[in-house]
Amino acid sequence: MMASNLTLQATFMDTNRPTVSITNLVSGQRVSNAVITVSGKAADNWQVTGVNVQANYGGWTSAVGTNNWSARLNLTAGTNLVQAYAVDNSGNVSLTNTIKINYVPSSPLTVQIVGAGSVTPNYNGACLAIGSTYMMTATASNGFAFYYWGGGVTMTTNKTLTFTMSSNLSITANFRDVTKPAMPAITFPVANQKWSNATITVTGKASDNVGVTDVGVQINNGGWVAAGTINGFANWTATNLPVSFGTNIIQAYAMDAAGNVSPTNVVRFVANGVPGPNMVLIPAGSFTMGTDDEPAWWEDHPTHTVNLSAFYMEKYDVTYELWQQVFNWAVAHGYAFNYAGTGKAANHPVLRVDWFDCVAWCNARSEMEGRVPAYYTDATQTKVVRWTSDCGYLTNDCVKWHSGYRLPTEAEWEYAARGGLSGQRFPWGNTISWSQANYRRDIPGYVPAYDLGTGWGFNPAFTNGVWPYTSPVDYFAPNGYGLYDMAGNVNQWCWDQWGDYSSASQTDPHGPSFDPTYAERMYRGGAFDWYGQACWTAIRSSSSPGMNNGDVGLRCVLPAGQ
């Protein structure tokens, strides 16, 4: 029945379900993160009031937003079920949208290149699936070779690496420099250069594709030394290398950090101002020359002080072998001698050479070794003495005292013979015996007390029936300066002309001025056929420069600058 002012309401129920979709992921997709964002859309004929999502039935959670929604979900390794549904304001629930997501854990890979080369593909910085297998191939740059793979993988020298990704994996691809450094240049000395000092500083340059780390230098196979540098061996220096007389061989090599060694560079140079191996430096000094003691023949005194500059003297009497070497060279190069010389054996002293022969021979030895000769035919010092006939009137002014081989002055000889001792009869002390020198003992009753030998006559160690009874030049012990046979064996020619001593002090005396009326030249030392008292260091003897006795030889000196 109709009532007054009756109001009627007709209510209709929404029966349409909303729809929901997942838009940022597709079923079967692989992801590498454990936490993902799922997003999508929802729609309804009326109004969507909420969207709920879950993973692996782990419990529904409300998404943010309705028509456009998103949510964060935690995944587990492997296949994950991701579900979403929507609800409208009528309580209608959409069908559940379900997709499968494969979660594969991943980690960034670090690939380091050591040396020069590349890898393909280069996964450096890429996130790779942990547990998955990958491959990379190494390619070396020019001048390098692939060495090995290392780091977090098992070392292998195969160029292609197969590896399984693990968390925070780091891999190194190592390439080795196989290019040798260039042969180092030796900028000093240059080939065939003439040198006159006892040491030399060698300089050069070195280069390499990645840099030189070491330069080795040696001279005459004497052992490698490390060169110094201030700019990575672009320029290098090896200082104070010892020089030998004659041809010297410099060798140098370069090495890089990989251990590659360059070819060895070789430079030869000639040291013609360096004393030979048998020359001994006699230091500068002063000594008392002569003797006032017996036998004190009148020409051996008065004693006087002599000051001498340093010089080199030969360790040994000139051997017959050395004499022949120089003599043969000299004859082939325009020299002429009075006598060819003799000797008992190669290592015995040369004999039967006169003073003229010795002067010419010294010049020949100098020229053979590339030195400036000492002796000239006159004071102009322009024409070299090469013939003994050039020697007849040689004066002190004919000598270049600071050049070449020459005979010692008397002062040089006596100073060197004393070996640093003072006031002693002999180079080693005040007594003499056959164990110290090769000399002849006087008959009983005439032997001085300081002669401690036994028996008389020639030294029995050398009387083998073959004359002369000389001894090898290195048979007896040397004196304090390292000189052998400064008493006995053979006398040794000196430069000086005979002349009386003066009591005045002298410095580097060269003997008296030349006097053609009395041209005898001095010799010193005594000999195998001389008595012990004639072997004193102070005893003087002289003879015509043309005398070639069988007991006189020579030894040479060189100026200290050589």
Dump the DSSP string for 494-532. EEEEP----SS-EES---SPP-TTS--EEEES--TTSBG
Give Cα separations from 118 to 90, 122, 496 (angstroms).
64, 8, 82
Q: Are residues 141 and 64 in the same domain?
A: no
Q: Is residue 238 part of a domain?
A: yes
Number of structural domains, the chain?
A: 3
Q: Is residue 145 part of a domain?
A: yes
Q: Are residues 163 and 212 in the same domain?
A: no
* Single pTM value for the model: 0.62
User: pLDDT (tens digit, 0 to 9) for every residue of the chain, 562 residues total?
Assistant: 666 777 777 766 778 999 999 999 999 998 888 899 999 999 998 899 999 999 999 999 999 999 999 999 999 989 999 999 999 998 999 999 999 999 989 899 999 999 999 999 999 999 998 989 999 999 999 999 999 999 999 999 999 999 999 999 999 999 999 999 999 999 999 988 878 777 899 999 999 888 899 999 999 999 999 999 888 898 999 999 988 877 889 999 999 988 999 999 999 988 876 777 799 999 999 999 999 876 545 578 899 999 999 999 999 999 999 999 999 999 999 999 999 999 999 999 999 999 999 999 999 999 998 889 999 999 999 999 999 888 878 999 999 999 999 999 999 999 999 999 999 999 999 999 999 999 999 888 888 999 998 888 999 999 988 999 999 999 999 999 999 999 999 999 999 999 999 999 999 999 998 887 778 999 999 999 999 999 999 999 999 999 999 999 999 999 986 5
Give the model's pLDDT for residue 382: 95
Domain finish residue from 241, 271, 301: 271
Q: Are residues 217 and 236 in the same domain?
A: yes
Give the model's pLDDT for residue 187: 93
Give the model's pLDDT for residue 294: 64
Six token digits for residue 502 = 């003066």
Main-chain dihedrals φ then ψ at residue 507, nearest 5 degrees: -125, 120
Q: Is residue 233 part of a domain?
A: yes
Give the model's pLDDT for residue 97: 94
Q: Is residue 170 part of a domain?
A: yes
Q: What sign does the CA torsion over 344, 346, 351, 352 have?
A: positive
Q: Is residue 325 part of a domain?
A: no
SS3 309: coil
Planar angle of CA 348, 349, 355, nearest 5 degrees = 165
Residue 176 CA from chain centroid, whole number: 26
135 CB-contact burial (10 Å; exposed 0-12 / middle 13-18 / buried 19+): exposed
Give the model's pLDDT for residue 297: 56
Give the residue numbers spanning the domain of 230: 185-271
Give one word for 125, left, alpha or beta, with left for phi > 0 and alpha for psi -120 to 50: left
Q: Are residues 99 and 114 in the same domain?
A: no
Q: Which of 68, 70, 64 is nearest to 82 (CA)?
A: 70
Give the model's pLDDT for residue 159: 96
Domain finish residue from 255, 271, 287: 271
Domain finish residue from 103, 137, 154: 103
Main-chain dihedrals φ then ψ at residue 6, nearest 5 degrees: -75, 130
Q: Which of 248, 250, 251, 307 is nearest to 283 (CA)?
A: 307
